[in-house]
Amino acid sequence: MADIYGERIKHPKRVGITSQIYQRWARTPWETKAERETLAKQHGIKAIGSYGGDGVTGFFLGEAHQTEKLSYWVPHFFEREILRRVICSVCSNNKKPTVLEVGCGSGLLAALLGADNKINIVGIDIDIKNPNGTRISTAPNTFLLKTDIWNVVNNYSHKYPGEIQIKREKLLSAVRNRERSFFLYELYGGWFGDPKELNQEIDVLQRSSRATEQETSIDVVICSFMEMGAELTVPIRDGIYPKAIIYVRPMNGRSGGGDYYFAKSGGNFFDIDKWNQQAEQDKLEPEGDGSEEELQKLLAIINANTNISYHPGTNYTTKARWITPCQLSYDSGKHRFDSDRDFAEVIIQTRNDTKFTPTPSPQIHEYPFDLEIESAFGQSSPFEKHANEMNQARQLLFP
């Protein structure tokens, strides 16, 4: 995995500092930035990190740990087989499927899925380090584009009758640009804009999606990373409207603009079911002005569930889900599989009008990191348990 998750600084430098300098910096850290920069420059440190101490070197100034922004998730051999079967099963017309990967990072997942040239893949990410339009050498039909999904949603969507097309483009623009908060765990703190209006806009988008004249060229969208605050469900589900959507959802609920699955199952932030049951009889009021009008706005947005990330809405059905290990390598500064690994959930959703024709298992190439994924699991959560969940998902998808 070190080759896949190569770090810019493999051996950070440390510059020894005196106790006097450390104490001065510790008391006034923001006033000594120039002093730290001067010391770092003298010793060839380009990225200034934190300062601290240990029992070996005493006090030191450390070089900032930097890594490239990379793929959030690397699927295991079993998972790649399921994904490939899902992609091919929604394309029953024998054409080569076309996949759009949103949040592709370095393009690793796209390269793995497109390695045998059986799938056309376009990966988009606003943080791509490669030149725009890069073709991955190991996957000839895989391209990476540096862009936001909102900038290409109209290019990749279906074609609609003139008036509907214009209306949809206006609604998508309104949903994107209107200042409002999506976050579930900020419901008690107030909203920007009218959440009921947002629900109405998305409801129109979902209904109008079915009035298509010509199918989109995108068969499947894989949303491999949805960072917190970036709501991508609406442009994917209601804008592009593909045959199937595959999400990789962080299990902590801190992603997108409010997490439907996290909220529906309860948790530390917000429990929709419990709130709905108690709201009317207890006259539960949110913080803020506590008005009945504000309460009704909250009830409208909670009951509709249309503007919450990962929600299938009215046009999709969740077919299968399973837990998978992941690691936001560039954020944690660590390799993907270690004692601090996180977990995510793979969610497979298909459009209600999509003909799902199960295909035979494809031949999938195995890599050394597949064994590393398996060995990373401990006794408390062995790989066999993870494999059983994948097998259950496979049975649901391909009975």
Q: Where does the pLDDT of residue 174 fall: very low under 50, low under 70, confident under 90, or very high at 90 and above?
A: confident
Calculate what percentage of the chain has a pLDDT beyond 70: 66
From the list 383, 367, 348, the residue with the least C-alpha distance to 85 is 348
CATH, domain range 77-397:
3.40.50.150
State whether residue 102 is helix, strand or coil. strand
pLDDT on residue 259: 72
DSSP 266: -
Give yes or no for a contact between 261 and 345, defined as CB atoms under 8 angstroms apart: yes
Separation of first and last alpha carbons in the chain: 34
On the 0-12 / 13-18 / 19+ scale of CB atoms within 10 A, 220 is buried
Give the per-residue pLDDT at 131: 57
CB neighbourhood size of 25 (10 A): 20
Lowest mean pLDDT among 177-186, 350-359, 361-370: 177-186
How wide is the angle at C-alpha 397 spanned by C-alphas 263 and 251, nearest 5°?
25
The whole-number average pLDDT for the span 203-230 is 90
pLDDT above 80 for 133: no
What is the chain's length? 399
> Region 384-396: what's the mean pLDDT?
89
For the entire predicted model, the pTM comes to 0.75
Annotated domain spans of the chain: 14-63, 77-397
Across the chain, what does the average pLDDT equal?
Answer: 75
DSSP 94: S
* Backbone dihedral angles phi then psi of residue 380, each to the nearest 5 degrees: -70, -30
The reported pLDDT for the residue numbered 179 is 46
Tokens encoding 88:
């091919």
* pLDDT higher than threshold 70 for residue 195: no
